[in-house]
Amino acid sequence: MNKRVAVIRGGRSKERDISLKTGKAVYEALETEGVDVIALDPEEENFYQQLTTEEIDVAFIALHGRYGEDGTIQGLFEMMDIPYTGSGVLASSLAMDKIISKKLFQQEGVLTPEFKVISRNNWDQQAEKLLTELKIELDLPVVVKPALEGSSLGLSIIKKRENLATAVDTAFEYDNEVLVEKYIAGKEITIGILGNQDLSVLPIIEIKPKTGAYDFEAKYTKGMTEFVIPAQLEEEIYNQAQKIANKAYRVLKCSGMARADLIVSKEGKPYVLEVNTIPGMTETSLLPQAAQAAGIDFPELVLEILEYAVK
């Protein structure tokens, strides 16, 4: 690629360390391919000055979480007329907000687990009333998580009613809205998607955490999770899961790349949990693993994502 590329990594979210790893892997892959590449961090004091003086042709966004995955940095690049990887402002914002995205899935016929939303203000004023309503409307177990965080930060799986209040309080440490979602027992899978208009749905990965919950520790501790690719699903269910992931991608108006996380229930129904518009991009991350299974090596994947940005 005959363009000057800036890898944007680091940032100020709680996922900064993960972002630095993604950025390092992307930078090294581009350097190996002979691309003119620099690395920039939005937390550096001269970040904006560097954007204006480095004559950047395209930005590879390797930021996870707030300010990088929620449409914020995308808006800056739109204003500066700098092409960038991944989804645009609207899609990034929609996908980052688990509550809004689930409401859109429901409206568009994309199967997603039943859920309730709690705001911090209502919780502070009437916690006991809300707990009673939750216990009536959603059978245990439930999944409790903040609306706007990634990497399973603040997530709890609750099987006992007496633990529900603590889980909600924990989730409020990360955001002002909390999602309480019906727990679907089954196989956890993830599906990578590449493209803008003509989409490539990658082989499905089955996620098998040894603790039973794919939380922050299971995601980022070596040996805590087994990944099976392709996922061990009946052909009809496998195809259905890919189709529903494709639809979720289009409903949110994603572009470039994304990774949809789903649960396949014991009855064989695929439920969409969320869509990640900037998934991890080290060579051992899930999207690159799926691409590798499709015959796309890591440097080739990075270059392909850049091409979607330029288009």
Taking all residues of the chain, what is their mean pLDDT, rounded to a whole number? 91
Can you give the pLDDT at residue 223?
Answer: 65
CB 273 within 8 A of CB 214: no
Instruction: Summarize pLDDT for 301-310 with one digit per residue, the tens.
Output: 999 999 999 9
Task: Look up the CATH architecture of domain 115-182.
Answer: 2-Layer Sandwich (3.30)
Instruction: Summarize pLDDT for 162-189 with one digit per residue, the tens.
Output: 888 899 999 998 889 999 999 999 999 9
Instruction: Summarize pLDDT for 60-110 with one digit per residue, the tens.
Output: 999 998 899 999 999 999 999 999 999 999 999 999 999 999 999 999 999
Q: Structure pTM?
A: 0.90
Instruction: Summarize pLDDT for 264-278 with one digit per residue, the tens.
Output: 999 999 999 999 999
Please report which residue ranges of the chain form alpha helices under DSSP H.
16-32, 47-53, 72-80, 89-96, 98-107, 120-137, 164-172, 216-220, 235-251, 286-293, 298-310
User: Is 276 flagged in the annotation as binding?
Assistant: yes
User: Is 41 flagged in the annotation as binding?
Assistant: no
The Cα–Cα gap between 16 and 73 comes to 14
Can you give the pLDDT at residue 2?
Answer: 84
User: Is 81 flagged in the annotation as binding?
Assistant: no
The Cα–Cα gap between 270 and 189 comes to 9
Q: Does 233 have pLDDT greater than 90?
A: yes
Query: Which positions are annotated as active-site residues?
Result: 15, 151, 285
The Cα–Cα gap between 196 and 192 comes to 13
Instruction: Summarize pLDDT for 249-258 with one digit per residue, the tens.
Output: 999 999 999 9
Task: Look up the CATH architecture of domain 4-85.
Answer: 3-Layer(aba) Sandwich (3.40)
Q: List the domain boundaries for the chain.
A: 4-85, 95-111+185-277, 115-182
Q: Could you please state the CATH topology (level 3) that the domain comprising 95-111+185-277 is classified under.
A: D-amino Acid Aminotransferase; Chain A, domain 1 (3.30.470)
